[in-house]
Every structure is written in structure tokens, then in C-alpha cells.
Amino acid sequence: MEVIRVEGGAPVEGAVTVEGAKNSALKLMAATLMAPGVNTLTNVPNIADVHVMGKVLKYLGAKIDVLGEHELRIDTTTIDKWEAPYHLVAQMRASTAVLGPLLARFGKAVVAMPGGCNIGARKIDMHILGLEALGVHFDIDHGDIHATTPGGMRGALVTLDFASVGATENLMMASVHAKGTTVIDNAAREPEIVDLANLLNEMGAKVRGAGSPVIEIEGVGELRPVTHRVVGDRIEAGTFVAMAGLCGRPVTVRGFEPVHLGLVLKKYELMGIRVERGQHQVTISRDAPLASVDIQTLPFPGFPTDMQAQTMCLLARASNSSVVTENVFENRFMFASELQRMGADIRIEGHHAIVHGVKAFSGAKVKSPDLRGGAALVMAGLVADGVTTVSDIHHIDRGYERFVEKLQALGAWVTREEVPDPETDDD
């Protein structure tokens, strides 16, 4: 099996450029279904999840040319299916992002119910409730969601129970051709939502208010294909920012908007990390001990859940105690139990993790629980005594392009290695 091997103590410093945002690119790819013709996306990250979304679009009939490592030409002229099959949805929950586009284009869709994953149940009840308000009718049959619009779609006011990113996106896309105006209240405000709204408006849609809690979509006719650059990945950037804050030497992280990491950078400054903000970049350094702060994950502009593991790694080395509260997912502390194997002192109580800072981590064999937790385990290994090997690194490859190469370029003693799988060696 493949592992990432980290030897602690390397002088990590220099500069790294992040890719386009995974959590935008996947939805922009799905949105090309709504604009028949040749769409070109640039700054697309070369990661496993993008490859899976490419498989979904090809299954539906799209033709995809990879024009360069980060440029996709997606021809959606002849889409002859409206079903996202289980074997693809099971690989990646984000495949459900084709639901809105297929409803907009065909007025019907069949999407496999997404299973749970390592961080929680990942239901789509808010997607369904919101779409029903637009006139969509759902039948659940043998694990598949059959969506139809017997009387067409009409605009409506939809108030989300929770500012769900996925539900906001599916509603925004499905309502583009609805008769009349749709208002999404308590909408997600993430920068990736704004990127999607910008793409839809470039295609000829009329979406107003993205980035605020109230998004208004006026129904329009056919959309036209476009060329669009994916917004920089604030979470990949935040991951390298956290690493630099942990290691202490100066690291410049390029290719994203610092304002998209507002609260994260502010919390890190309170922890004693120096942040120099620039044009599409930050420079990070630290020469004081890490101070403890409390963290509550919330929808944007609150503290992002996708930065929780990386931040817990920092807090586990801080001078006092902190409380990390995970409000977005019901089961996103597995990283903490792996970090305890490296000597962290963390107690989980429901949605809270009480973190007592320790003076050192010791290298150990650990398992990546999800893509952010996996990256955070590698981060812990950078400052651990001895060697850390992280397994289940397919999670990391889902969302981080050339992760090991980028770390090596920063001077980290990190390699990808093939090792015998202890589980299969037993028999």
C-alpha cells in the first residue's frame, strides 16, 4: 500500500502556489451541463475528485479534452442521459451536484442517494425540500432519487434550515430556468458559491446576492457556453498556512485571496503567527510560542470546518488549553484520535474537543481519516520526533494536487512510498 513518510525536523520554508478550488471546480464542471456547447475551465486542480466528476459528465454524454494540466474543454452539446449512477455517486458525494443542472436542462434527473462518509451522514434532505418548493417531484426507489417536474419549475422562496453549501448550489442551478424568481434565504456564503454564481451569470443567468445570505435567481432562457477560471483554493492555501505557522520559518502561499481565509488568519494571528497579506498571497512566519485559542466551526464567514483538523494540530502544540467545537459535521474528530497516537493530549466530548498543548509529537504509524485530517497528520509529522507514516493517502489525493512534491519543494523530508500492507500480510 502507498504511504506518505515524513521525517520530523526539516527546515520548512520558501514559497508554494495553490491550485484552483476543489469545492468550486466540481460544481462548475456540473454547471456546464446547463450550457450546451464547448465550455472551457481553467485553473482546474488535477486531483482525483475532478477525475471522478469527469467520469460522471462523460457517462452523461459530455466530451472532455484536457487542454493542459489545469485546463478542461467540456463539450455538453449532446447530453443523452440524466442519471448519475450509484457507482459514481458512491465514489464521490459531490456527484449529487449534477441534480440541479439536469433538472434545469431536462426537467428530470435520477441520482443515487449518497451514502454517508467518514465525517457524517451527509444527507441531502435540504436539497430535496428546497427543490420540491420549485415544483420538483421526488420518488426514492431502490436507493435512487427519481426527480421529475410534471408541471415545470416555478420560482419560490426557499429558506434553508442550515446554510448548506450543496443545497444552495443545487437550488441556484435548478432555478435558472424556473418560471419567475427564486429566493434562497439562509443561503451558504462560501467563496465557491460566488464563483459558481459568476459562472452562471457569464452563461446568461440572472443570479444576484451570491456571497450574502439571500440569493435571488430570475428565470431565463437557454444559457451559452463560456470560458471561466476557477477561484483559488482557500483550504489548500489554509493547509499550507497552518503548516508554516507550525514550523515557524517564513513561507509564502500564493494563488488565493487572503480575504477568503479571513477568520482563519485572524485566529492564527491571535495564536502568535505572523501574517503578511499581499495580492493573492500571504507570507507566514512565527518566532513566539503558539498561544491557545478557542475555535467554533460555522458556515462562511465563520471558521471553516475544512480547516478544523489543521488548526487542531496547531493547538495541540500551543502553550495552554483550547476548546474546538465542530458545528457543521456530526463526526469530524477522527483526526484527533490519530493525533493522540503521536502524543497529542485531546479529550473529545460530543461536539467539543478539549486540547491541552504538549511540548512535542512523536512520529508514529497513523491512518488518514479524511482528506483534511490526512493533510493535518502529515503536517504533524513535519515537527514530530522521528518518522511518521500516514496510510490511506487516497483521501489526500482526492483534494491535494502534488502534495508531497509541494512539501519537498519547501524543504520537508517527505516521500511517497510503497510498503507491504500489514492487513493483507497476516493471511
Sheet hosting strand 321-326, strand order edge to edge:
295-297, 321-326, 352-356, 345-349
Which listed residue (11, 58, 157, 162) binds ligand EPZ by CB under 6 A? Answer: 162
The residue among 120 and 422 lying less far from ligand EPZ, judged by its C-beta, is 120
Is there binding between residue 292 and ligand EPZ (CB under 6 A)? no
Is there binding between residue 372 and ligand EPZ (CB under 6 A)? yes
For residues 310 and 395, what is the distance between their CA atoms, to the nearest angstrom? 15
Hey, which residues between 185 and 214 contact ligand EPZ (CB under 6 A)?
A: none
Peptide bond into 301 cis (omega under 30): yes
Which listed residue (240, 256, 268, 329) binds ligand EPZ by CB under 6 A? Answer: 329
Is there binding between residue 355 and ligand EPZ (CB under 6 A)? no
Q: Are strands 63-68 and 71-75 parallel, antiparallel or unpaired?
A: antiparallel
At its nearest, how many Å lie between ligand EPZ and the CB of residue 212? 16
Nearest by Cα to 4 from 278, 275, 403, 285: 403
Which listed residue (48, 60, 102, 167) binds ligand EPZ by CB under 6 A? Answer: 167
Specify the 3-state DSSP secondary structure of 146: strand
> Which of these is catalytic: 117, 128, 129, 323?
117
Is there binding between residue 175 and ligand EPZ (CB under 6 A)? no
- Residues 126-155, one symbol each (x = binds ligand EPZ by CB under 6 A, - = not), give xx----------------------------
At its nearest, how many Å lie between ligand EPZ and the CB of residue 169? 7
Instruction: Render 268-297 in DSSP notation, one character per residue.
Output: HHHTT-EEEEETTEEEEE--SPPPP--EEE
Return all residues near 286 (Cβ < 8 A) that are at least 6 apart: 244, 245, 248, 272, 273, 274
Which listed residue (175, 305, 310, 388) binds ligand EPZ by CB under 6 A? Answer: 305
Is 313 labeled as catalytic in the residue annotation? no
At its nearest, how many Å lie between ligand EPZ and the CB of residue 372? 5
At its nearest, how many Å lie between ligand EPZ and the CB of residue 35? 21
Burial category of 55 from C-beta neighbours within 10 Å (exposed 0-12, middle 13-18, buried 19 and up): middle
Is there binding between residue 122 and ligand EPZ (CB under 6 A)? yes
Is there binding between residue 58 and ligand EPZ (CB under 6 A)? no
Is there binding between residue 265 and ligand EPZ (CB under 6 A)? no
Options 38-46, 80-88, 157-165, 416-424: segment touching ligand EPZ (CB under 6 A)? 157-165
For residues 86 and 111, what is the distance between their CA atoms, to the nearest angstrom? 8
Options 5-13, 80-88, 124-132, 413-421: segment touching ligand EPZ (CB under 6 A)? 124-132
For residues 203 and 197, what is the distance between their CA atoms, to the nearest angstrom? 10
For residues 369 and 389, what is the distance between their CA atoms, to the nearest angstrom? 14
The residue among 50 and 316 lying less far from ligand EPZ, judged by its C-beta, is 50
Nearest by Cα to 308 from 331, 332, 330: 332
Which listed residue (45, 225, 363, 399) binds ligand EPZ by CB under 6 A? Answer: 399
Options 18-26, 52-60, 209-217, 225-233: segment touching ligand EPZ (CB under 6 A)? 18-26
Distance of CA 409 to the CA centre of its chain: 24
Which listed residue (125, 222, 385, 405) binds ligand EPZ by CB under 6 A? Answer: 125
Is there binding between residue 376 and ligand EPZ (CB under 6 A)? no
7: β partners: 387, 413
- DSSP E strands in 280-385: the ranges are 281-285, 295-297, 321-326, 345-349, 352-356, 365-367
At its nearest, how many Å lie between ligand EPZ and the CB of residue 86? 18
Which listed residue (48, 89, 124, 131) binds ligand EPZ by CB under 6 A? Answer: 124
The residue among 138 and 413 lying less far from ligand EPZ, judged by its C-beta, is 138
Distance of CA 180 to the CA centre of its chain: 32
The residue among 165 and 207 lying less far from ligand EPZ, judged by its C-beta, is 165
Q: Are strands 83-84 and 108-112 parallel, antiparallel or unpaired?
A: parallel
C-alpha radius of gyration, the chain, whole number: 22
Contact in structure between 98 and 311 (CB atoms under 8 Å): no
Distance of CA 212 to the CA centre of its chain: 20
Which listed residue (11, 120, 152, 278) binds ligand EPZ by CB under 6 A? Answer: 120
Catalytic residue annotation: 117
Question: Where on the chain is the footprint of ligand EPZ (CB under 6 A)?
Answer: 22-23, 26, 94, 120-127, 162, 164-167, 305-306, 328-329, 371-372, 399
